[in-house]
A and B are shown apart, each in its own frame.
Chain A
Amino acid sequence: MQLTSRRQFLKQAGLAGLVMGAPPLLSACGPGRRVVRGGKPLTPPTAGHAQLSMRIWGAYPDFVTKQVAGYEQAYGDHVDLGVIAGDYPSLLTNLLRQDTHIDMAYSLWHMPQAYSEAGWIHDYERFWAKEDAEREMLPAVRKALTINGRLIGLPYFAFVNGALFANTDVLRKANLEGQYPKTYDELYDQVRLIKKRGASDTPYLPSFWSAPWFGIPFGFIQEALNRNIPLFGNGGEPLFDEKSQVVDMLRQWRALYRERLVPQGVLTFQESDWTEAFAKGGIAYSPQLQYDIKTFATPGSSQVVGKIVPVPQQGQKWGMLHIGAYLIGNYGQSDAQLAQAYNLAQHFGYRNRRTNKFEVPTAWASNYYLTQGYAAVNESPEVAAAVATWLPDPEKNWPVLKDYLANPQVATELFHTSWGPMWMNYASHELPKAVDGSEDPKTVVRNLRTKAESLFNDFGH
């Protein structure tokens, strides 16, 4: 009977491990950049039975499933719809890097610059309806979704992140009804007055909430934009430093927190906490996501029904443009497969090819006020009818909301860099230190600049 010695066993096991591990290791050493082929515009597919893969985050998956079923029925394709739970941007980035079969995926608009440079996504230059779609898009949305002269996505949504909302009930108690602030300085003065008059303990709920959906960095960028404080140049180079007005801005944030004008737990809020806290009542002002007007108008989830209105922009703007996009993955698919993916993207992000109507975009806007990158959708009668059920005094307040999206400020200089998301990740952990007093605002601004310089040096634009 021949027994294998331990040494021999270890040798064999090691060899087996090497054989198994070597190919992936070697492949990891190879070039990761994929080539995106150019070429003439493709023609829409005629035959069905395509197997398509679509990845989304967990917003209304039932609604999306219904839209996917409509697509499958119309075109005879099969769509594998997958919801990516958790840290969506990181997970999607890794899926795209690994050549995963993804025909279409949601993305926020600050992510695709890196994807595009790496060749992980296809642009829409060969999309048959590209010029029509671009013509109908809101100019700011078209510009945001165009990287290096190429359209890289169709809009999934477009709204103003940080649009300021007011609770009229609190303002009435403070005897300030209709006296809306025009600037951040006026806003911060007014919230102090509201607290002084005893109308609210925590009159302001800012975008200080934490990762992974970029609450506090977005709050920082949009307030700097609205105050016309330059942060980044056209090439992505940082323009702010310790002498910049952003230091004073952070000092104001610190004062709001120290004076307990904002909820104390705000630094560890998640997006849902942020919305729930405002819907609970007692807060006078908050930059909120526009689509939450439905949440605030729903009795089951809100104690402020009929009391939340958008604050009109009077000179200074509130918030910045926020876009979700449908991206097309590049996993080495054929032209025919790419055409199928464009077809799916067109169904969701533009006009239905069969009916020539904005079906899915209008459904999003009229069911959830998830406004779209197309004026034709946002101002459609269906959306008007829906908004009338969610906004108090819609004739007065809907134009205010529409004004936000008419000519918004846009953080293109940062969002069109490949390192923007990394800088925002860093900022999401650095900015709270200025707010809770762990660090001096000057130190935080210096750290933010150092990080931006380092990323700029490593990755360029």
Chain B
Amino acid sequence: MTTAVGGVAPPRVPFSSRRTPTGFGMLLVAPVVLLLLAIVAYPIGYSLYLSVMATNPITGSQHLVGIANFRAALTSGDFWHAAGLTLYYVICVTVIGTGVALGMALLLRERFVGRPVLMAVIVLPWSLSTYAAGVVWRYVYSPQYGLLAGIAQHLGLHPFDFLSKQAVIPSLAIVHAWQFAPLGTYFLLASLQVIPDDLYKLAKVDGMGMAKRFRNITLPQIRMPLAIFLVLIGGQAATAFDLIYFLTSGGPGDASQTLTYDAYQQTFQDQDFGGGSATSWLLLVLVTVVTVGYYAVAMSSSRRTRKASS
């Protein structure tokens, strides 16, 4: 209890003013820092620790092996097979996802009857859980009782096995892109909507065709959001696991065993914690390289455009 001196109460000093600005700021972020340390920093650190150890899954005994797990991964045919598939998958998802997102965004920029309904409907795949998407697409792809097989039969064609070793990566990529493209659509649509219509009108007066208008007006305006979406979808595709697990479990054989699935299989099914962790770190390097590459390309082309316009 505070006592008033001479009947005048001392001014109340707020808690935040009793701390230095840095101290108060750190206090505010402390819970988040602690949480991040627990759920991000610790697992990352622990996986790095595991990647330089050999762990017996039964006895739990461990000994330091240095970079042996990394060397084993980099000299293994399975790793390079998985890395190749990962790259192929990333390219397929990025190309299909970006194409669909851009196409939908350009379409939704126009005014037409039913546009609000379409805007609401296209978000549905994004709102679906990956498990549900996996279940739905199993029924679409199944050559026995799938939707596409049914259509093929009606047309008198032989049903195609979309999850066969030749087709499995593009088929998975279509599902992934189907789920991720709505995000890109909204992302790009936001940028498209700030482009003044007058620019397009003037370009038409100047005799620019559709392709030229897209290249000279639309593309420069959406370059940065497009780059960000490319980074997002590329990174997401490189680390995709759940969709592959639900639809093919890495199969048939190892035809869809990307690096993420490989790391999972090594760590959790083969109980090879060192090998699985090393593969995860190598995947991280790959994702970082791809991301930095995307940014570098996007930034340099953005700089070129600015230079040209100035």
Contact = CB atoms under 8 A, between A and B. Distances in A.
Interface of A: 1-4, 9, 13, 16-17, 20-21, 24-25, 28-33, 86-87, 89-91, 93-94, 97, 114, 117-118, 210-212, 263-265, 267-268, 270, 273, 276-277, 280, 418, 421-422, 425-426, 428-433, 436, 438, 459
Given A16-B37, A31-B60, A210-B248, A267 B253 contact: yes
Given A264-B143, A418-B58, A433 B21 contact: no
Interface of B: 20-23, 26, 33-34, 37-38, 41-42, 45-46, 49, 56-62, 138, 141-145, 159, 161, 163-165, 168, 245, 247-255, 257, 265, 268-271
A419 B31 CA distance: 43
Nearest to B33: A13
A214 B268 CA distance: 15
A16 B270 CA distance: 34
Given A3-B21, A210-B251, A264-B164, A87 B268 contact: yes
B55 to A, nearest CB: 8
Given A21-B41, A212-B249, 12 more contacts: A1-B20, A13-B33, A21-B46, A33-B59, A90-B268, A117-B58, A118-B59, A210-B250, A263-B144, A268-B247, A421-B269, A459-B58
A4 B269 contact: no
Given A21-B45, A31-B61, A32-B60, A268 B268 contact: no
A194 B90 CA distance: 44
A425 B61 contact: no
B39 to A, nearest CB: 11
B46 A263 contact: no
A31 B265 CA distance: 24
B270 A3 contact: no
Label chain B's interface by main secondary structure.
Answer: loop
A268 B251 contact: yes
Nearest to A439: B253
B98 to A, nearest CB: 27
B142 A265 contact: yes
Contacts of B271: 93, 422
Contact of A28 (B62, B165, B255): B62
Contact of A429 (B21, B61, B254): B254
A97 B265 CA distance: 17
Nearest to A213: B249
A57 B252 CA distance: 25
A51 B196 CA distance: 67
A422 B253 contact: no
29 contacts: A3-B20, A3-B22, A4-B26, A16-B34, A20-B37, A28-B60, A32-B58, A86-B245, A87-B245, A97-B57, A114-B57, A114-B58, A210-B248, A210-B250, A211-B249, A263-B143, A265-B142, A268-B168, A268-B247, A276-B145, A280-B144, A280-B145, A425-B265, A425-B269, A428-B251, A429-B265, A432-B251, A433-B254, A438-B165
A32 B170 CA distance: 43
A62 B213 CA distance: 61
B26 A268 contact: no
Contacts of B165: 436, 438
Given A93-B271, A265-B161, A425-B269, A32 B59 contact: yes
Given A20-B37, A432-B253, A118 B20 contact: no
Contacts of B38: 20
Contacts of B252: 210, 267-268, 432, 436
A118 B165 CA distance: 38
A9 B23 CA distance: 10
Nearest to A426: B270
B44 to A, nearest CB: 10
A433 B23 CA distance: 61
Given A32-B59, A425-B265, A267 B251 contact: yes
A428 B163 CA distance: 16
Contacts of A29: 62
Given A263-B143, A273-B138, A436 B253 contact: yes
Contact of A210 (B26, B33, B164, B249): B249
A16 B141 CA distance: 51
Nearest to A30: B60
A210 B161 CA distance: 15
A418 B58 CA distance: 8
A267 B162 CA distance: 12
B41 A17 contact: yes
Contacts of A117: 58
A17 B37 contact: yes
Contacts of B34: 16, 20
A433 B41 CA distance: 39
Taking each of B34, B254, B257, B271, which has the highest tally of chain A beta carbons within 10 Å of its own beta carbon?
A: B271
Contacts of B257: 429
A118 B268 contact: no
Ranked nearest first, the 9 interchain pairs of A and B with the lowest CB-CB distance are A32-B60, A267-B252, A432-B253, A90-B268, A264-B161, A268-B163, A433-B253, A265-B143, A211-B249
B60 A33 contact: yes
Taking each of A17, A91, A430, which has the highest tally of chain B beta carbons within 10 Å of its own beta carbon?
A: A17
A264 B268 CA distance: 29
Taking each of B26, B247, B253, which has the highest tally of chain A beta carbons within 10 Å of its own beta carbon?
A: B253
Contacts of A25: 45-46, 49
A283 B40 CA distance: 50
Given A93-B271, A267-B251, A436 B164 contact: yes
A4 B46 contact: no
B20 A429 contact: no
A29 B45 CA distance: 14
Contacts of B37: 16-17, 20-21
B224 to A, nearest CB: 29
A21 B60 CA distance: 19
A42 B143 CA distance: 56
A91 B37 CA distance: 24
A28 B145 contact: no
Contact of B142 (A13, A94, A273): A273
B199 to A, nearest CB: 44
B251 A211 contact: yes
Contacts of A459: 58
B167 to A, nearest CB: 11
A4 B248 contact: no
A16 B35 CA distance: 12
Contacts of A265: 141-144, 161, 163-164
